[in-house]
Amino acid sequence: MCGIVGYSGPQSAATPLIEGLRRLEYRGYDSAGIALGVSGKLFVAKKAGKLANLENALDSSLPIVHSGIGHTRWATHGGPTDRNAHPHVDNDGKLAVIHNGIIENYSELRTKLEIRGHVFTSETDTESVAHLLSDLRKEHKGDLAAAMRDAVNVLRGSFTLVAIHADNPDVVVGVRRNSPLVVGLGNGENFMASDVAAFIEYTKRAIELGQDEIVTITPTSVVITDSDGKLVTPKEYEISWDAAAAQKGGFTHFMLKEIFEQPKAVADTLIGRLSDNGQIVLDELRMTAEEIRSLKKITVIACGTAYHAGMVAKYAIEKWAKIPVEVEIASEYRYRDPIIDPGTLVIAISQSGETMDTLMAVRHAKAAGARVLAICNTNSSTIPRESDAVLYTHAGPEIAVASTKALLTQMIAVYLIGLHLAQANGQLSDDQVQHLYRELLELPGKIEQILETVEPLRELTRSFSENNIVLFLGRNIGYPVALEGALKLKELAYIHAEGFAGGELKHGPIALIDNGTPVIAILPAGHEHALDEKMLSNIQEVKARGARVIVIAEEGAHVEGAEHIIRIPIVPALLQPVLATVPLQVFAYEMAVARGNDVDQPRNLAKSVTVE
């Protein structure tokens, strides 16, 4: 939520700032703005709406200066207007600040600052920081970093703040608390951003910042201190993503590109996971076989699409490793007094590694003594940093707000964990594990097969584009797939979509079925259990009430009552979600296109949700 960029170096600052904002626009697109380090008085431009509005407003009068800050907003306090857009500036017009997060004590600060004579021009919580920093900087005789340190001790809430002052325009100062900020180390230039994607085309060297650490960059220096002013030794790391991965590469939308990247993402996540002696290699778990055998329970915490990967974990781990698994929406977890003991392993799943609801649940679990394992796609983000162990997925940057390849790789990660646990606690033989692992290795090819034959589905989808309701049915491990299909459709097509467990239909949801209601049913993989017959009955029940039924079924499976059948390759039942999800992603994508919606940046959403 909200994208932040800071730059100091030899380039005309507007270029890396606007480029950076373009890469971060997925984080919020209610407004965008920049402040450039013009000596004497800052140049500030900001506009409601997408980044393009700001770009159109920037004309040839744009000053060529070498430092600045930029922001793309997901609104919390104050509507998405020009006035509420960041940067916010002090009354001298010399200090500008951008912010991601929420300042919880902003109202109390505002009152105090107004009494001191500051005049506010926006409804945001952020503006109080601009005025506060302005006073503190004067107290510190022009030292912006010292002012930021004092501010951190006054502010409550979660925030990344980045500020600049016209009297020292080369100096950009940032801080983070419960919200992301990374530093990019260039050659004679330095960057700050919410996410490495913002500066990846200029440098692959980055530094992670700890809680409440204050960073000051100039073209040639990076200084980090803690909130007491003590110097901190930087933790540098190499960014493994390449710049091209954050471009559309000929596809019309990032989402479509990311759907088509799934075979590679899945294959990359599987690389090197079986040792020569047939053991699943998951050293990242940092658990001995003895510790695995003493596990009493696993709790998976996650939000949105990642939660659906958690549901897949429940079916797979319980079946293979016979360890009880509960799956919990992260935002609910810490508020219900969950039972946590040293025998509990908590698995936190998050693409971004920054989702505040999941982070807070992680902290709660850790404080209560649980061991926390993160499954994450973003290197050095907060959730893996605060967890005891991390298993990285290798999806590469996921730019579209709707999660696709991240989900498939999360599923692969939970399968690997399930197999590893089952092998360690003796619930599956080495032969069984190796067989399932070989099946996992075949998934990329099978996803490719689905993608090669997706054109008729795209055409079919367009015929449903006027419908305002779509229902999804699944049973067993097809149930999370149904939920995911519905979430994707809500998010992208803005229509009422619900996923149900097939057996629940008769307990209420069947009342929603009317003449012509589209119902998408996921037929369980037929060879491993008899649930497919029950789903076939559900199909008949909805068809009898006028539904238009689309069935996703494996090759060769017997299907009755469907208006359309989408065939997917045969896999062991528990692996089916990896394949069955793909046509539903395409369905949601095509619906969004047909309805003229913004596919990559659906309304009201942001990719990384860093507020609770």
Catalytic residue numbers read 2, 607
CA separation for the pair 228, 68 (Å, rounded): 26
* Residue with smallest beta-carbon separation from ligand M6R: 304
Pairing of strands 67-73, 43-48: unpaired
Nearest approach, Cβ of 403 to ligand M6R (angstroms)? 4
Query: Please, which residue, 151 or 599, has the CB nearer to ligand M6R?
Result: 599
Nearest approach, Cβ of 112 to ligand M6R (angstroms)? 35
Query: Is 401 an interacting residue with respect to ligand M6R (CB under 6 A)?
Result: yes
- Name the nearest CA neighbour of 249 among 263, 265, 261: 261
Nearest approach, Cβ of 302 to ligand M6R (angstroms)? 7
Q: Are 431 and 305 in contact (CB under 8 A)?
A: no
CA separation for the pair 225, 294 (Å, rounded): 42
Query: Is 391 an interacting residue with respect to ligand M6R (CB under 6 A)?
Result: no
User: Which phi and psi (to 5°) does residue 558 adopt?
Assistant: -75, 125
Query: Is 30 an interacting residue with respect to ligand M6R (CB under 6 A)?
Result: no
Residues numbered 230 to 269 that lie near ligand M6R (CB under 6 A) are none
Give the binding-site size for ligand M6R (rule: CB under 6 A): 16
Alpha-carbon dihedral sign for residues 72, 78, 79, 81: negative
Instruction: Give the H/E segment covering residue 361.
Output: helix 356-367
Find the binder of ligand M6R among 190, 355, 380, 610 (CB under 6 A): 355
Query: Please, which residue, 146 or 361, has the CB nearer to ligand M6R?
Result: 361
Query: Tokens for 315?
Result: 């079916």
Query: Please, which residue, 34 or 303, has the CB nearer to ligand M6R?
Result: 303
Query: Please, which residue, 295 or 605, has the CB nearer to ligand M6R?
Result: 605
Query: Is 69 an interacting residue with respect to ligand M6R (CB under 6 A)?
Result: no
Nearest approach, Cβ of 352 to ligand M6R (angstroms)? 3
Find the binder of ligand M6R among 190, 352, 382, 576 (CB under 6 A): 352
Instruction: Dump the DSSP string for 42-54.
Output: -EEEEEESSHHHH
Determine the interface stretch with ligand M6R among 96-104, 138-146, 304-312, 535-543 (rule: CB under 6 A).
Answer: 304-312
Determine the interface stretch with ligand M6R among 45-53, 320-328, 351-359, 550-558 (rule: CB under 6 A).
Answer: 351-359
Query: Is 168 an interacting residue with respect to ligand M6R (CB under 6 A)?
Result: no
Instruction: Dump the DSSP string for 52-87.
Output: HHHHHH--TT----SEEEEEEE--SSS-SSTTTSSP
Query: Please, which residue, 411 or 547, has the CB nearer to ligand M6R?
Result: 411
Q: Measured between alpha carbons, how far is residue 212 from residues 68, 132, 390, 404 in Å?
A: 22, 17, 23, 33
Query: Please, which residue, 36 or 483, has the CB nearer to ligand M6R?
Result: 483
Nearest approach, Cβ of 609 to ligand M6R (angstroms)? 5
Find the binder of ligand M6R among 34, 206, 303, 360 (CB under 6 A): 303
Buried b / exposed e along 290-305 (16+ C-beta atoms within 10 A): eebeebebbbbbbbbb
Nearest approach, Cβ of 303 to ligand M6R (angstroms)? 4
Nearest approach, Cβ of 73 to ligand M6R (angstroms)? 18
Find the binder of ligand M6R among 402, 497, 520, 568 (CB under 6 A): 402
Query: Tokens for 368?
Result: 């209560």
Determine the interface stretch with ligand M6R among 9-17, 106-114, 297-305, 334-342 (rule: CB under 6 A).
Answer: 297-305
Nearest approach, Cβ of 421 to ligand M6R (angstroms)? 22
Pairing of strands 88-89, 43-48: unpaired
Nearest approach, Cβ of 83 to ligand M6R (angstroms)? 29
Query: Is 178 an interacting residue with respect to ligand M6R (CB under 6 A)?
Result: no
Find the binder of ligand M6R among 160, 216, 305, 423 (CB under 6 A): 305
Query: Is 609 an interacting residue with respect to ligand M6R (CB under 6 A)?
Result: yes
Determine the interface stretch with ligand M6R among 17-25, 86-94, 397-405, 548-556 (rule: CB under 6 A).
Answer: 397-405
Is residue 81 left, alpha or beta, with left meaning phi > 0 and alpha meaning psi from -120 to 50?
beta
Query: Please, which residue, 124 or 409, has the CB nearer to ligand M6R?
Result: 409
Query: Is 304 an interacting residue with respect to ligand M6R (CB under 6 A)?
Result: yes
CB half-sphere exposure, 377, CA atoms < 13 A: 28
- Name the nearest CA neighbour of 467 among 571, 588, 378, 319: 588
Give me the 211-230 binding string for ligand M6R, x by CB under 6 A, dash otherwise. --------------------
Q: Are 24 and 74 in contact (CB under 8 A)?
A: no
Nearest approach, Cβ of 580 to ligand M6R (angstroms)? 16
Nearest approach, Cβ of 354 to ligand M6R (angstroms)? 7
Find the binder of ligand M6R among 100, 350, 379, 610 (CB under 6 A): 350
Query: Please, which residue, 143 or 590, has the CB nearer to ligand M6R?
Result: 590
Strand order in the sheet with 518-522: 496-501, 469-474, 518-522, 548-554, 564-568
Find the binder of ligand M6R among 122, 225, 269, 358 (CB under 6 A): 358
Find the binder of ligand M6R among 387, 403, 581, 601 (CB under 6 A): 403
CA separation for the pair 14, 35 (Å, rounded): 9
CB half-sphere exposure, 518, CA atoms < 13 A: 24
CA separation for the pair 199, 186 (Å, rounded): 9
- Name the nearest CA neighbour of 554 among 524, 533, 534: 524
> If you search the block for the tokens 């893996």, which residue do you land on?
384
C-beta atoms surrounding 352 within 10 Å: 24
Query: What contacts 508, CB < 8 A, 6 or more positions away?
Result: none
Give me the 453-492 binding string for ligand M6R, x by CB under 6 A, dash otherwise. ----------------------------------x---x-
Q: Are 356 and 328 in contact (CB under 8 A)?
A: no
Query: Is 384 an interacting residue with respect to ligand M6R (CB under 6 A)?
Result: no
Pairing of strands 344-350, 371-376: parallel
Binding site for ligand M6R (CB under 6 A): 303-306, 350-352, 355, 358, 401-403, 487, 491, 608-609
